[in-house]
């Protein structure tokens, strides 16, 4: 079986990898589609992000869908030939966090394509994947491309949940890559009154407009326009920071009104923030990391046509052209948003 393995910065290889044995509560999946995520790009370009670095070769990928080819003897609710969205999250359900219903913080989490633990958790960019039955959410009625979007949508739904009641609120979203753009769609679905989106890419902002942003601001060219929202101690009730950049975080804090909430969703290195404003405006600062129950919700929302992810799926390349696909996903000059691999 072929897999897509990262060995270091810009060192991406197609390599043979053994297929794991099928256990009673597992299914074998012929992977159909894998979406390239921002963390995959960090591993490809830099060999990691922040303090998380590759220490051994690792199969990338955690946004996948596929068709079940075999089922274990104890599997009852899934069938051969069924299209499923595969959750990359595998909590232990035994540690103190899992037992308290906080699986996102599982001490022994096995999340596909993660270099956080060592040995690393191998990812899902492979032709054949063995998964636990609970990871698989039936995606009947969806395309395999849509089904592979469940993971990034789940990330955004968790961020919306972290923000609390969004209905009637004014929202700032900084960073309009796939996650930021999906946050626009999810915020609109949750009843936000006004959504303003910032980015440094004209292309990215075009997609934000297409899914429901009220206004977009290219902060590379018109940062002064954003500063208008800083007057009278701020304008926005909630900021969802998706860039992971120092500028994006500072802009969010500057533009939030007193008692506002900043949801930090973007991953980046350590940065300086205007801490005085966090204190004097009594802002709520919350992180948002991965998801748990939101994965199945994401699939069901797509099945019910409550959120349309199709406008964001711009490119699909064969996984044997993975390097070309990764370069395309990183190129702001191309009209790309979500680049997917077919297996």
Question: In this predicted structure, which of 49-53, 93-97, 293-297, 298-302 has the lowest mean pLDDT?
Answer: 49-53
* Three-class SS state of 322: helix
Indicate the average pLDDT of the chain: 96
Closest CA to 188 of 212, 221, 163, 224: 212
CATH class of 154-287: alpha beta
What does the pLDDT look like over 245-294, one tens digit per residue? 999 999 999 999 999 999 999 987 788 999 999 999 999 999 999 999 99
- Asked if pLDDT for residue 334 goes beyond 80, the answer is no
Tokens coding 309: 């992810």
- The confidence score (pLDDT) of residue 267 equals 85
Does the pTM surpass 0.75? The reply is: yes
Domain positions in the chain are 2-149+309-342, 154-287
pLDDT over threshold 90, residue 94: yes
Which region among 205-209, 227-231, 331-335 has the lowest average model confidence (pLDDT)?
A: 331-335
CATH class, domain 2-149+309-342, is alpha beta
Three-class DSSP category at 12 = strand
Q: What is the pLDDT of residue 332?
A: 66
CA proximity to 313, closest of 198, 159, 87, 144:
144
What angle, rounded to 10 degrees, do the helices at 202-210 and 178-189 form? Answer: 20
* 195, 176, 165, 279: CA torsion to nearest 10: -100
In the prediction, which pLDDT does 51 show? 83
CA separation for the pair 283, 258 (Å, rounded)? 6
Higher-confidence residue of 286 and 335: namely 286
Predicted confidence band of residue 49 (pLDDT cuts 50, 70, 90): confident
Average pLDDT on 26-41 reads 96
Q: What pLDDT, in 10s, does the model give residues 152-207?
A: 999 999 999 999 999 999 999 999 999 999 999 999 999 999 999 999 999 999 99
The pLDDT, as a whole number, for residue 333 is 66
Can you tell me which residue has the tokens 């948003």? 337
DSSP string, 163-174: H---TT-EEEEE
């Amino acid at each position: 079986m072929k897999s897509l393995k990262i060995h270091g910065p810009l060192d991406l290889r197609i390599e043979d990898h053994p297929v794991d044995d099928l256990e009673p509560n597992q299914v074998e999946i012929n992977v159909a589609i894998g979406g390239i995520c921002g963390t995959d790009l960090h591993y490809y370009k830099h060999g990691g992000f922040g303090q998380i670095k590759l220490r051994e070769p690792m199969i990338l990928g955690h946004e996948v869908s596929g068709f079940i080819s075999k089922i274990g003897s104890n599997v009852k609710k899934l069938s051969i030939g069924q299209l499923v969205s595969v959750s990359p999250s595998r909590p232990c359900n035994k540690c103190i966090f899992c037992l308290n219903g906080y699986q996102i913080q599982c001490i022994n989490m096995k999340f596909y394509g993660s270099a956080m633990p060592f040995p690393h958790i191998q990812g899902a960019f492979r032709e054949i994947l063995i998964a636990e039955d609970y990871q698989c959410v039936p995606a009947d009625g969806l395309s395999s491309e849509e089904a592979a979007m469940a993971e990034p949508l789940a990330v955004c739904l968790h961020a919306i949940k972290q923000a609390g009641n969004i209905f009637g609120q004014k929202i700032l979203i900084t960073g309009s890559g796939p996650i930021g753009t999906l946050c626009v769609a999810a915020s609109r679905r949750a009843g936000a009154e006004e959504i303003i989106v910032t980015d440094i890419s004209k292309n990215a902002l075009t997609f934000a407009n297409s899914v429901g942003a009220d206004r977009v601001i290219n902060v590379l060219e018109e940062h002064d326009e954003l500063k208008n929202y800083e007057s009278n101690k701020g304008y926005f009730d909630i900021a969802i920071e998706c860039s992971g950049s120092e500028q994006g975080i500072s802009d969010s804090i500057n533009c939030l009104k007193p008692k506002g909430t900043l949801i930090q969703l973007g991953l980046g290195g350590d940065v300086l923030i205007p801490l005085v404003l966090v204190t004097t405006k009594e802002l709520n600062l919350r992180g948002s990391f991965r998801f748990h129950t939101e994965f199945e919700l994401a699939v069901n929302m797509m099945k019910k046509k409550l959120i349309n992810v199709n406008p964001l799926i711009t490119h699909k390349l064969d996984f044997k052209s993975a390097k070309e696909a990764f370069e395309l996903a990183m190129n702001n000059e191309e009209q790309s948003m979500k680049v997917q691999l077919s297996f």
